[in-house]
Chain A
Amino acid sequence: MTTQTPNPPDTQPSPDFWLQLRQLLRHTITPRPTPVEARLSLAAAPLTLRFASAALQNRILPALSHLPAHNHPSPDLTILVHDYASAPEIPALLRDLTISSSGEEYWVFHQGSLVVNLQHHGRVLSAIDWETRTAWWIGPSPDAIEYTERAHPLRLILTQWQQSRGCNLVHAAAVGIPSGCALIIGQGGAGKSTSALASATGGLLYLGDDICLVQDSPAPLVHSLYSSAKLACLSRFPALAPASVPEGRPDSEKLILFFHQLAAVSTVPTLPLRALLLPTITAATQTTIRPSTPAQAFLQLTPSCIWHLPHLRPQLLAAFAALARRVPVYTLALGCDFASTPIAIRALLLQLQTSEPA
């Protein structure tokens, strides 16, 4: 899918800028000590995170701490997490950049084996070197990582890496039982988070409330990416209060929760995908489920492509269409009795498990 670059480029980078950046990342910053390390398995691929400080780890790791550990000698990707204190050459190199009108925007540059992402007016750099299977995230300081970003840290790097492995990030929640899960797809306000959290507190396994990874081949799978959830208020789900992180929350933002240490929620890294659910809020008391169509599922999956690189969006839409054709689609008609939602989803998943050919 093509999009227009909103502001035409004007100034030229210095001729050796990319060479300098590559040299800095590969030969100056990579060998630098990173005292804190986490070895995780994401979508069955070994990922190593190396942090320049415990403070950086504390900001980034909670959302990923539910993932299983790996002990693979050579991870598929190693992400080095630094700040300007541990990698001062980067702010010096980026100092004269004047880009991006919004902190939410990313500028993505492809330079040989290197993909470079600049965010927050060029103050945050993330990059992947496909040759060395190394990535870098370098921001001003741990405290400069925004509250909401702590729920979904390193998202662009993880999205780009996983997409190269055939796992696509989708804007969806996912919950399930041991034999399989349902992906809950819908726009903001459709009831994804409420359904996911009602299900998680109602005994279903939890993979995510807003972002998941979907792998279409050989069999459809959903991989959990983050253990986090976001809620406007805790009154509906008081059991989740111990997982909330109110520190640093701006008034305008939802409350972040991390489930990796909460006994009331069972997170799971991966489950087979059995059903696509399209939530809709109704006036009924009980939640019910009825068949819907692949076209309706595709309509709801389509906006997820906005989170992917523009040149990859057409192939992503084709993957979403294939998924919508392959997995049964249902409308999740949400009743006001939240406790009925996990009961309905569990019953559907058990029914699909029973009807599956041996």
Chain B
Amino acid sequence: MTTLHEVDRSRIIFEQFDNETVLVNTESGVFYSLNPTATAVLKLIEEGCPLDQLHSVLFPGNSAPSQAAPAIHAFLQQLLAERLLRDRSDSNPIAPFPTPDPALFSAGSAFLPPLLERFDYMASLMQLDPIHEVDPSFGWPKESRDDDADPQPA
């Protein structure tokens, strides 16, 4: 059985703008920018293309430049390492897949390697998140004091 993948929307906000994509991890605050090649690859994954068929769908008839396979492989490893994908519940490939943009993937075009750029500055802000919503039924939050395990009332 082939494992299909999709963006893990339970944790990841997925916004596509023309040929660029931004992914936001709502738990960590890390966000990612995908260039047009990476966006096209992710689109295929979302369409139900198995990871091991991506290369042949993108470059039918062995038209791939030599650097394409390792670049796409590295990009997929990054997507998985960043936990941006999850297994799909359905496991049947949904071919035929849409034809990739020839400007990006045809034999005559210069290959732009897929790029997943990671941005941590909102994650840093979220570690210092100034707003804490509290369910009143849980009670008051405990004061944070690294040097004192048993905080005293102010």
Cβ 8 A contact of B26, one of A111, A122, A296, A313: A313
Inter-subunit contact B126/A3 (CB<8 Å): yes
Q: Does A98 contact B (CB under 8 A)?
A: yes
How many residue pairs link A and B with beta carbons under 8 A? The number is 146
What is the CB-to-nearest-CB distance from A297 to chain B, in angstroms, rounded to a whole number? 9
Segment of B51-59, B74-82, B100-108, B143-151 engaged in the interface with chain A: B143-151
Contact bitstring A5-30, B, C-beta under 8 A = 1, else 0 = 11111111100001000000000000
Inter-subunit contact B143/A310 (CB<8 Å): no
What is the CB-to-nearest-CB distance from B83 to chain A, in angstroms, rounded to a whole number? 15
Q: How large is the interface on A (under 10, 10 to 19, 20 to 34, 35 or more residues)?
A: 35 or more
The residue in chain A whose Cβ has the minimal distance to the Cβ of B26 is A1
Question: Once bound together, how far apart are the Cα atoms of A10 and B139, in whole Å?
Answer: 6
Contacts A2-B27, A5-B141, A108-B131 given; does A98 touch B126 at CB 8 Å = no
What is the CB-to-nearest-CB distance from B148 to chain A, in angstroms, rounded to a whole number? 11
Contacts A293-B17, A294-B17 given; does A302 touch B24 at CB 8 Å = yes
Question: Once bound together, how far apart are the Cα atoms of A111 and B134, in whole Å?
Answer: 10
Inter-subunit contact A9/B144 (CB<8 Å): no
Q: Does A299 contact B (CB under 8 A)?
A: yes
Question: Once bound together, how far apart are the Cα atoms of A1 and B25, in whole Å?
Answer: 9
Segment of B40-48, B90-98, B117-125 engaged in the interface with chain A: B117-125
Cβ 8 A contact of B141, one of A1, A100, A102, A293: A100
Please provide the chain B residues from 104 to 142 with a CB less than 8 Å away from any CB of chain A in the complex.
119, 121-122, 125-126, 128-134, 136, 138-142
The residue in chain B whose Cβ has the minimal distance to the Cβ of A115 is B133
Question: Once bound together, how far apart are the Cα atoms of A13 and B141, in whole Å?
Answer: 10
The residue in chain B whose Cβ has the minimal distance to the Cβ of A109 is B136
- In the A-B complex, the 10 residue pairs with the smallest Cβ-Cβ separation, listed nearest first, are A101-B144, A295-B20, A294-B17, A12-B139, A295-B17, A1-B26, A9-B138, A98-B143, A321-B15, A10-B142
19 intermolecular pairs with C-beta atoms under 8 Å apart:
A2-B27, A5-B133, A7-B141, A11-B139, A12-B139, A99-B141, A99-B142, A101-B145, A102-B130, A105-B131, A105-B132, A107-B134, A122-B154, A293-B17, A295-B22, A296-B20, A302-B31, A306-B129, A309-B131
Not counting A9-B138, A100-B143, A293-B18, a sample of 8 additional A-B residue pairs whose C-beta atoms are within 8 angstroms of each other reads A5-B133, A13-B136, A98-B152, A99-B141, A108-B134, A121-B143, A295-B21, A306-B122
